[in-house]
A = this chain, B = another copy of it.
Amino acid sequence: MAVAIKISTRGRSEMVDITALVKKELDNSGKADGMCLVYIPHTTAGVTINEGADPDVKSDILAALSEMVPATGNYRHAEGNSDSHIKAALVGSSVVIPIQNAKLLLGTWQSIFFCEFDGPRSRSALIQFI
């Protein structure tokens, strides 16, 4: 069964660390072994795993994406958020993490980030254990 967690974003582009929320759902599930799927049901947001210790890393990732995909350009989609859709395609809408002994096997420096590319909005992420 998938569980939805709620995320409120504050900026147009933002990486929100959801690791603690995912761990809490793992604890609730009682799963000891398997895989954890984090799935983003939005088309202008994504999910990625990267360094959580230094907040400058997420600033650098967001800045690099904005340089690669400018907010304004020769876009056809008329809603002014083509860049958001493109960034979502680059980052991806799901991550899968192994579980062992009831723990996510994240590396020492890894955190799970919800990636907002067209906020601020009320968003959700679906968490599922297999």
Contact = CB atoms under 8 A, between A and B. Distances in A.
Contact of A94 (B1, B96, B130): B96
Contact of A64 (B37, B60, B69): B69
A110 B98 CA distance: 23
B76 A60 contact: yes
Nearest to A44: B51
B33 A43 contact: no
A106 B93 CA distance: 10
A70 to B, nearest CB: 9
A57 interface: yes
Interface string A1-30: 110000000000000000000000000000
Contact of A130 (B75, B88, B109, B130): B130
